[in-house]
Amino acid sequence: MKISVVRDILEANERIAQQNRELFDRNNLLVLNLMSSPGAGKTSLLERTIDALKNHISMGIIEGDIQSSRDAERIAQKGVPTVQINTGGACHLDGNMIRDTFEEFDFKALDLLVVENVGNLVCPAEFKVGEDFKVMILSVTEGDDKPAKYPLMFHESKVLLINKIDLLPYVDCSVGKIENESRKINPDQEIFRISCKTGEGLEEWYEWVKKRLKNKRIKSQ
Amino acid sequence: MKISVVRDILEANERIAQQNRELFDRNNLLVLNLMSSPGAGKTSLLERTIDALKNHISMGIIEGDIQSSRDAERIAQKGVPTVQINTGGACHLDGNMIRDTFEEFDFKALDLLVVENVGNLVCPAEFKVGEDFKVMILSVTEGDDKPAKYPLMFHESKVLLINKIDLLPYVDCSVGKIENESRKINPDQEIFRISCKTGEGLEEWYEWVKKRLKNKRIKSQ
């Protein structure tokens, strides 16, 4: 019985997420759903990405948290439109929550909307919000056994960013093992090794975003 | 409507967890529900704790994972009774799942049962499994903003273990800030700074477990 309830919720969410996606497409807006465990570096990646791209493109950010607006405050300092969603206990964002932010944005003026999901390697993978792509971050401090243990997240994520590689000398973690195990689950996944602290590897991530922006504009013409 | 469904699930779970707890109490069994983000060190803490205590007390372990049995294999090598629960997508353990393991254990012969929950800083805090105490681990690599962002987990956890303190020279994290913010949410929480890699701080954790074992036996006599 519990499973059927969850399925009803998932089906209802799929319909709303599809409606969101259609609105985003009509506005030629690339939407990324950014997911990770707590503290893997989602907000740090956003800060870096805004700094690198904001002179070239127009970005908006949705910040999802159980409560508090600390991440939104960090991001708003970068001068981009930022909307906070407090889920009030829910462990993931869903299509309805994203729809509730629409009147806060001028989507016609934006090129890229990034949704920073609640820090959780499980539930966010199940709930579409209307995104073009799911992007996940794994920190090397979490260990190299995570693809096998949280396969849905790795399966659903078009991009895997392996973060905090500056800490590799101090932790027991094989990045090669993460890559191999994740590609077993998701052979087409793009994987980048990065450090949001030192900036290493981030250029390739920015190039991936720029390429997707270009594809989105062409697709929507 | 969604909220009412969640409440029904939570209420049903409370009843089952209470029944589990009564069974554990009848067997003078101390039960700890161990929670953290993915990769914060739950299994490493268990390995250390088993090595330190297994000559003095009789332990059993329940390993919760979405899928895979890697952690259970690590723990079973230590020679303690270990049962794997694969939640098949669910992001937390609940009372029913724990009840399903009962025929695998001889509770009369055990002093301590540790339930290693699914790696998730959100949902496990909402679902009792019949435990005496919730115990959480936070790794310093997750950052010092986590109590404010995931307050329910910190509120519900009788013990906070701040792990990976050997990495403090390499990360931007104030352990004092974690402690202050967590105590604001949960003034009676016991907090230990530990490293499951070097062993630092673990003696105090073992002493806490031994004290609780003693209390449990006295209480149940």
Report the pLDDT value the prediction gives residue A219, as an integer from 0 to 100. Answer: 65
Q: Does position B221 have pLDDT exceeding 70, yes or no?
A: no
Phi, psi of B191 (to 5 degrees): -125, 130
Closest CA in chain B for residue A9: B2
> Is residue B145 a part of any domain in this protein?
no
At B188, list the tokens. 């009676």
Residue A90: CATH number of its domain: 3.40.50.300
CB contact under 8 A, B142 and A167: no
Residue with tokens 């030629």: A28
By a Cβ cutoff of 8 Å, what residues of chain B touch chain A? 2, 5, 9, 37-40, 65-68, 70-71, 89, 91, 118-123, 126, 139, 141-143, 145-146, 148-152, 164, 166-167, 170-171
CB contact under 8 A, B39 and A38: no
Q: Which residues of B touch A118 (CB under 8 A)?
A: 122
> Is residue B113 a part of any domain in this protein?
yes
CB contact under 8 A, A142 and B38: yes
Q: Which residues of A touch B95 (CB under 8 A)?
A: none
- Quote the mean pLDDT of chain A: 93
At B114, list the tokens. 């540790």
Phi, psi of A152 (to 5 degrees): -60, -45
Q: Does position B218 have pLDDT exceeding 90, yes or no?
A: no
Q: For chain B, what percent of residues have pLDDT higher than 90?
A: 87
**Average pLDDT score over residue span A156-181:** 98
Please report how many Cα atoms fall inside a 13 Å half-sphere around the Cα of residue B123, on the Cβ side.
24
Q: How far is Cα A10 from Cα A121, in angstroms, rounded to an integer?
A: 17
Looking at per-residue pLDDT, the higher value among B66 and A165 belongs to A165
Domain that holds residue A130: 2-137+202-220
How is residue B124 annotated by DSSP? G
Structural contact between residues B41 and A143, judged by C-beta atoms closer than 8 angstroms:
no
* Nearest beta carbon to residue A170 from set B66, B148, B170: B170
Q: Does position B7 have pLDDT exceeding 80, yes or no?
A: no
At B193, list the tokens. 């700074």
Reported as a single tens digit per residue, the pLDDT across B24-73 is 999 999 999 999 999 999 999 999 999 999 999 999 999 999 888 899 99
Report the pLDDT value the prediction gives residue B2, as an integer from 0 to 100. Answer: 37
CB contact under 8 A, B122 and A120: yes
> Is residue B154 a part of any domain in this protein?
no
At B57, list the tokens. 């007390």
CB contact under 8 A, B121 and A119: yes
Interface test with B, best of A11, A122, A144 (most B CBs within 10 A): A122
Q: Which residues of B touch A126 (CB under 8 A)?
A: 89
3-state secondary structure at position A140: helix
CB contact under 8 A, A38 and B70: no
Please give, rounded to a whole number of angstroms, the shortest distance from the CA of B132 to a CA of chain A.
23
Q: Does position B172 have pLDDT exceeding 90, yes or no?
A: yes
Tally of structural domains, chain A: 1
Q: How far is Cα B43 from Cα A53, in angstroms, rounded to an integer?
A: 40
Interface test with A, best of B2, B42, B178 (most A CBs within 10 A): B2
Give the confidence band of A216 by pLDDT, cuts at 50, 70, 90: confident
Closest CA in chain A for residue B72: A149
Q: How far is Cα B207 from Cα B197, in angstroms, rounded to an integer?
A: 19
Reported as a single tens digit per residue, the pLDDT across A60-105 is 999 999 888 899 999 999 999 999 999 888 899 999 999 999 999 9
CB contact under 8 A, B67 and A120: no
Q: Which residues of A touch B67 (CB under 8 A)?
A: 148-149, 151
Q: Which residues of A touch B119 (CB under 8 A)?
A: 37, 121-122, 149-150
Closest CA in chain A for residue B153: A89
> Is residue A48 a part of any domain in this protein?
yes
> Is residue B95 a part of any domain in this protein?
yes
H and E: helices and strands count for chain B: 8, 7
At A104, list the tokens. 């806060």
Report the pLDDT value the prediction gives residue B220, as an integer from 0 to 100. Answer: 59
CB contact under 8 A, A152 and B66: yes
If one counts every other C-beta atom within 10 angstroms of the C-beta of residue A28, the result is 17
> Is residue B150 a part of any domain in this protein?
no
Please give, rounded to a whole number of angstroms, the shortest distance from the CA of A216 to a CA of chain B.
32
pTM over 0.80: yes
Strand ranges in chain B using DSSP code E only, listed in sequence order: 30-36, 59-65, 82-86, 112-116, 133-139, 159-163, 190-193
Closest CA in chain B for residue A148: B68
> Is residue B16 a part of any domain in this protein?
yes
Q: Does position A2 have pLDDT exceeding 60, yes or no?
A: no
> Is residue A115 a part of any domain in this protein?
yes
Strand ranges in chain A using DSSP code E only, listed in sequence order: 30-36, 59-65, 82-86, 112-116, 133-139, 159-163, 190-193
CB contact under 8 A, A91 and B89: no
CB contact under 8 A, A119 and B5: no
Q: Does position A192 have pLDDT exceeding 60, yes or no?
A: yes
Reported as a single tens digit per residue, the pLDDT across B80-98 is 999 999 988 889 999 999 9
Reported as a single tens digit per residue, the pLDDT across A99-154 is 999 999 999 999 999 999 999 999 999 999 999 999 999 999 999 999 999 999 99
CB contact under 8 A, B9 and A9: no
Q: How far is Cα B213 from Cα B45, in angstroms, rounded to an integer?
A: 18
